[in-house]
């Protein structure tokens, strides 16, 4: 059943032992939202556990500081947060809980509606915005640390207020969270103004590989396994690279071509305005959204790039 904030708050208030689940490759939104809700529930005298299929990285440790988590044999309420599909819980958690999620709180329009009850706001920029409103509905006091957990979700899922999902509500909630004591400056420093040294090297190597095509309307960077090795970096750090080519003035289509371990190449395509990234990707067997899409090409490096460029050109000239 689809439920609203009020129904969700009422439901949670009537349960006592909670398991909150995050998605794999945990990001600021799933962890910030889960820990904020956990703190709210604990403040109401509930017992709470938070789980994730992958380990939480150090950047998130402040979210757990002083939060009393209680591992229990049985949970009378299992809540998935920011999880659009139970597969995203990871194999193990999905096998145990995937079919028994009581409530899913999410902001992905693509949510597959797998939980008993679903609180879904497809146009919310982050799950954290929904959790904030939910905590207010539950009359939970927004402490500084809850505010910091939520601010992390609000800022990371909007690329620090730069993505098109950012709304007037996003800014208003950010304002209220800063008012409530969120450590906004330091959160932004950690999540947006810091690069690992290995990423800094990888970024430099990537920029060196940037080539321009079609009157500079297309820019391509290529990351090989050798570059990953030379930089000391790994796959987890390549995501941000995909945005670099499109940032150059005049570029309509930016492509990151990444060599995978099996020797094939994954293309991450980012476009501006009128150019449809998913049209380019789908002609090569991939898919995605209008502004961001991806596909995998099984070919040697130069051939792979040429195959992708051909489809880019078709779309640019189309």
If you search the block for the tokens 């570029």, which residue do you land on?
Answer: 251
Build a one-symbol-per-residue string for 143-182: x at contacts with a copy of itself by CB under 8 A, - elsewhere: -----------------xxx-x-xxxxxxx-xxx-xx---
Q: Which residues pair with 50 in a beta bridge?
A: 20
Q: Are 130 and 105 in contact (CB under 8 A)?
A: yes
Q: Does 234 bind a copy of itself (CB under 8 A)?
A: no
**Site residue total, a copy of itself (CB under 8 A):** 38
Q: Does 290 bind a copy of itself (CB under 8 A)?
A: no
CB of 99 to a copy of itself, least distance (A): 39
Q: Are 103 and 77 in contact (CB under 8 A)?
A: yes
H or E segment to which residue 222 belongs: strand 218-223
Calpha distance 107→122 (Å, rounded): 5
Q: Which residues contact 10 (CB under 8 A, 6 or more apart)?
A: none
Closest to a copy of itself by CB, 13 vs 59, is 59
The tokens describing 107, both together, are 């902001």
CB of 199 to a copy of itself, least distance (A): 8
Closest to a copy of itself by CB, 43 vs 209, is 209
Q: Does 212 bind a copy of itself (CB under 8 A)?
A: yes
Chain centre distance of CA 28: 7
According to CB under 8 A, which residues from 181 to 210 bind a copy of itself?
184-185, 188, 192-197, 200, 203-204, 207-208, 210
Q: Are 35 and 49 in contact (CB under 8 A)?
A: no
Build a one-symbol-per-residue string for 250-289: x at contacts with a copy of itself by CB under 8 A, - elsewhere: x---------------------------------------
Q: Which residues contact 318 (CB under 8 A, 6 or more apart)?
A: none
Closest to a copy of itself by CB, 200 vs 314, is 200
CB of 212 to a copy of itself, least distance (A): 8
H or E segment to which residue 213 belongs: strand 211-213
Calpha distance 286→295 (Å, rounded): 4
Enumerate binding residues for a copy of itself (CB under 8 A): 160-162, 164, 166-172, 174-176, 178-179, 184-185, 188, 192-197, 200, 203-204, 207-208, 210, 212, 216, 243, 247-250
């Amino acid at each position: 059943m689809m439920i609203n904030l009020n129904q969700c708050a009422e439901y949670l208030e009537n349960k006592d032992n909670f398991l909150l689940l995050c998605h794999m490759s945990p990001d600021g939104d799933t962890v910030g939202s889960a820990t904020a809700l956990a703190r709210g529930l604990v403040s109401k005298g509930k017992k709470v556990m938070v789980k994730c299929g992958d380990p939480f990285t150090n950047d998130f440790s402040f979210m757990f500081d002083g939060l009393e988590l209680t591992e229990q044999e049985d949970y009378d309420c299992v809540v998935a947060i920011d999880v659009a599909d139970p597969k995203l819980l990871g194999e193990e958690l999905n096998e145990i809980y995937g079919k028994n999620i009581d409530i899913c709180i999410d902001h992905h329009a693509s949510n597959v509606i797998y939980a008993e009850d679903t609180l879904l706001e497809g146009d919310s920029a982050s799950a954290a915005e929904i959790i904030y409103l939910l905590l207010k509905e539950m009359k939970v006091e927004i402490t500084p640390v809850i505010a910091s957990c939520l601010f992390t979700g609000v800022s990371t899922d909007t690329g620090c207020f730069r993505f098109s999902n950012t709304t007037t509500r996003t800014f208003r909630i950010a304002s209220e969270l800063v008012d409530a004591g969120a450590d906004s400056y330091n959160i932004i420093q950690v999540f947006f103004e810091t690069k690992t040294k290995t990423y800094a090297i990888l970024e430099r190597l990537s920029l060196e590989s940037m080539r321009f095509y079609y009157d500079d309307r297309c820019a391509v960077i290529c990351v090989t396994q050798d570059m990953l090795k030379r930089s000391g970096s790994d796959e987890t750090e390549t995501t941000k690279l995909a945005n670099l080519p499109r940032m150059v003035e005049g570029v309509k289509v930016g492509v990151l071509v990444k060599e995978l371990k099996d020797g094939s190449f994954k293309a991450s395509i980012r476009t501006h305005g009128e150019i449809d990234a998913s049209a380019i990707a789908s002609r090569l067997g991939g898919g995605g959204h209008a502004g961001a899409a991806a596909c995998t090409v099984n070919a040697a490096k130069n051939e792979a790039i040429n195959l992708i460029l051909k489809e880019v050109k078709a779309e640019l000239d189309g």
